[in-house]
Structure 1
């Protein structure tokens, strides 16, 4: 049988609008919630995106 993957799908939600990105992360290496600065096309600037469920 194949091993269970350690990577999970996560949703990154913008702090300035309703826009979101979907990506993967390795749960074993990064157990805390992810916070990244990414471009938000709705407000047309870089804002913080936080991991949400």
Structure 2
């Protein structure tokens, strides 16, 4: 069975650059500093559902 995926969206431009596996144990949305190729810098990316 395939895993469910959620996207990580850039908080600056809103583009969804990364996907991760959804975890039922995670109660708060994941926030990670990742590189955004559209902004050209490291920005905060938040989990979308």
TM-score normalised per structure 2: 0.73
Within-5 A mapping of 1:1-53: 8-20=4-16, 21-28=18-25, 30-53=26-49
Unaligned runs of at least 5 residues, structure 1: none
RMSD: 2.0
**Structure showing greater Rg:** 1
Structure 1 runs of 4+ with >2 Å offset: none
What count of residue pairs does the alignment treat as equivalent? 48
* 8 A contact 1:9–1:25 mirrored in 2: yes
